[in-house]
A and B are shown apart, each in its own frame.
Chain A
């Protein structure tokens, strides 16, 4: 990563009973030592994603999967995309995506 660059970080997790336990995992994601979000795959049986917009303080970044209960954390993909630097800036704290929609009666997802 490049220190000081604004990144869109997206983690996806889908549980397909790979371990035969048939228990949807619940765990936390951290950015370095800081709590980012709880992933509860029991709520999203078809998988889910989380995004955060973050400016790393060095050229390295740790995204940590933290076990918080009996289930084992998992991650299906992790994406880092550099953004334009003047966009999505906050006074303090970091932006976690809640909803991103275009207003149309189409069912197409734009990416």
Chain B
């Protein structure tokens, strides 16, 4: 039985307990990354640095490990259950090949969201980060979602994934308050105070 991905908000306490520096040494944008792993996965890791060319700059520590299915022909699957089933989602998948491939080895896979193909024949580049995201928001039937990476026929290695971010979409229908709103009221208030104090024209 798979453990479904749930909100990572319960890691706050863990973070506070473990916090020695209480700042953000690893992530330039101060994002907080929890860990997630399934028993049927195999961990891959490297001691080498990984290059990030896009602006996402996931932390090096998060990119230096990846999960791959222990059974090389199985998909790499991450199921999830939403708190609010009708939520629209954006996924940001951060990939980097961190295993040295031999001349006769290929890692190539397709990415599926709720059984639908969303990205075709992807091969992560050695020690280069790529972030793959859905261009428009996706939903899940009854709030049950599944992300799967499935190896292509020509691939000799199972899929991998280093890190993932999931966001829900919040719509803001109201325009923000204009910064100059209320300025007239403030001026009138000041004038009133002025008149009261001096009893003269200001």
Interface residues of A (CB under 8 A from B): 8, 10, 12, 14, 31-37, 44, 46-50, 52-53, 56-62, 79, 81, 83-88, 90-111
Which of B18, B31, B163 lies in contact with A103, CB distance below 8 A? B163
Contact A100 B34 (CB under 8 A): yes
The residues of A that contact B89 with a CB separation of less than 8 Å are: 98
Assess the B24–A93 pair: CB atoms within 8 A.
Answer: no
Q: From A36, A52, A84, A103, give the contact of B41 (CB < 8 A).
A: A103
- With both beta carbons as reference points, the residue of chain B lying nearest to A36 in the complex is identified as B170
Cβ-defined contact, B92 with A99, below 8 A:
no
CB-nearest residue of chain A relative to B57? Answer: A84
Given contacts A97-B167, A104-B67, contact A110 B26 (CB under 8 A): yes
B 133-152 to A, binary, CB cutoff 8 A, 1 in contact else 0 = 00111000000000000000
Binds A, one of B111-119, B122-130, B172-180, B187-195: B172-180
Is the pair A102, B176 in contact by a Cβ cutoff of 8 Å? no
Interface size class of B (residues with CB under 8 A): 35 or more
Interface residues, chain B, with chain A CB atoms under 8 Å away: 5-16, 18, 24-27, 29-37, 41, 43, 45, 54-59, 61-63, 65-67, 80, 82, 87-90, 92, 135-137, 161-179
B201 to chain A, nearest CB (A): 33
Asked whether, in the complex, the Cβ of A108 is within 8 Å of the Cβ of B18, the reply is yes
Minimum CB distance partner of A105 in chain B: B37
B163 touches A111 (CB 8 A): no
